[in-house]
Amino acid sequence: MSPSFTPARTRGLLRATAAALALSSVLLTTGCGSSGESGGDAKATAAVPAGFPVTIDNCGVKTTYDKPPSRVVTIHQHPAELMLALGLKDRMVGTAFPDSAVLPELEKDYEAIPELAKREPSFETVLDAEPDFVYGGYGSAFDEKEGRSRKAFADAGIDTYLNREYCGKKKVTMKDTYDEIRTIGTVFGVPDRADKLVTDLQSRVGEATAAVGGESEASVFVYDSGDKSAFTAGGKSLGTELIRLAGGENVFADLDDVFGDVSWEQVVERKPEVIAIYDYAGAGSVEEKKKYLLSQPALADVPAVRNKRFVVLPLTATLVGIRSAYAVEDLARGLHPESFR
């Protein structure tokens, strides 16, 4: 039996819908002096850091912050991990929709924050947490049909921010990750932390890229999901850049989209040496996906299938968030294990 793949189709539709939104940009108001870092309990009243007020234009929604938000709900896992990596646990009053296991170094802090829902919480559930800021990872975080539009939150006096991957810019790169971190650092008055985090992630990527610098590119097919056809990462996806940085080449880099369907005949024709399996809840387990690929007679002569060369990536590692830098190293080790012995 093939795994269930409905969530992937939904996510692809959400990406397509998000393309109609305005491009994101960041507009900082004038301010001088170094930015301080507020801390303490989320309910505490802290001194306003230098540099405020600050205005951010996110996906066409312009918001002016007189001070950093202090009660935050994150919807989807990658915004939560980004917040925690910036040391903002004390500002967080709720999370929702975990996609995969949390990074080990963030697990303790993540588990200390109330989980509002296994998927996107209702508008009323979010309101019950009394946030002043809601940070969404996918476009579905602010689904108008579900009553969670950004306008609805604004009318309730709650500011919102949507991950820039869903702001309509088609091609997604590592620069988007770094820009996202710096923007959130600005909103919360911790730009120094954001700069340090970006530097650390850039160093992680640089070390992995250097390790495989002398290797020939490995051809990679991304298997997100699908049975009658394959749902895969296209040339405009962050996954394609991650593969390139890790010393590989996405065999469907010519697919002019972030994600799309390809035929299994095309997969056979392109003879990938490695298959990168995206792992996330609701789309079949990794073992189910491997079993499906290995059981198809038409794929038997594909080098990656014949040699059982699979690399597993959590979906959260392929999104605009801190995981993408980790994914480059994981991919590099999977594509060129000999470079890490």
Write the secondary structure of 113-149 as one string of H (helix), E (strand) and C (coil). CCEEECCCCCHHHHHHCCCCEEEECCHHHHCHHHCCC
For the chain, percent of residues with pLDDT exceeding 90 = 77
For the segment 256-284, the average pLDDT, to the nearest whole number, is: 93
pLDDT for residue 196 is more than 70: yes
What's the pLDDT at 9?
Answer: 45
What's the pLDDT at 22?
Answer: 37
Quick check: 136 and 161 in contact, CB under 8 A? yes
What's the pLDDT at 46?
Answer: 56
Residue (of 10, 16, 17) closest to 120 by Cα position: 10
For the segment 144-160, the average pLDDT, to the nearest whole number, is: 97
What's the pLDDT at 135?
Answer: 98
What's the pLDDT at 168?
Answer: 79
For the segment 164-173, the average pLDDT, to the nearest whole number, is: 85
Tens of pLDDT, residues 259-270: 999 999 999 999
What's the pLDDT at 43?
Answer: 43
For the segment 78-89, the average pLDDT, to the nearest whole number, is: 98
pLDDT for residue 217 is more than 90: yes
Mean pLDDT of the chain: 88
Residue (of 142, 79, 70, 68) closest to 110 by Cα position: 79
The number of CA neighbours under 13 Å toward the Cβ of 242 is 33
Lowest mean pLDDT among 7-16, 40-49, 249-258, 317-326: 7-16
Tens of pLDDT, residues 237-246: 999 999 999 9
Cα gap 84→15, rounded to integer Å: 25
- DSSP codes joined into one string, 297-309: GGGTTSHHHHTT-
pLDDT for residue 218 is more than 80: yes
Sign of CA dihedral 6, 224, 24, 187: positive
Confidence of residue 205 (pLDDT cuts 50, 70, 90): very high
Confidence of residue 47 (pLDDT cuts 50, 70, 90): confident
Confidence of residue 304 (pLDDT cuts 50, 70, 90): very high
For the segment 39-55, the average pLDDT, to the nearest whole number, is: 69
Quick check: 127 and 98 in contact, CB under 8 A? no
What's the pLDDT at 101?
Answer: 87
Instruction: Tokens for 159, please give them.
Output: 């500011």
The number of CA neighbours under 13 Å toward the Cβ of 20 is 5
Quick check: 42 and 73 in contact, CB under 8 A? no
Quick check: 187 and 160 in contact, CB under 8 A? no
Strands 248-250 and 133-136: unpaired
Detail the DSSP E strand segments found in the chain. Answer: 54-58, 61-65, 72-75, 92-96, 115-117, 133-136, 159-162, 218-223, 230-233, 248-250, 259-262, 274-279, 310-314
pLDDT for residue 182 is more than 90: yes
For the segment 145-160, the average pLDDT, to the nearest whole number, is: 97
For the segment 218-236, the average pLDDT, to the nearest whole number, is: 95
Sign of CA dihedral 128, 134, 135, 141: positive
At residue 108, φ and ψ (nearest 5 deg) are: -60, -45
Residue 125 sits at the vertex; the CA angle it makes with 53 and 158, to the nearest 5 degrees, is 15
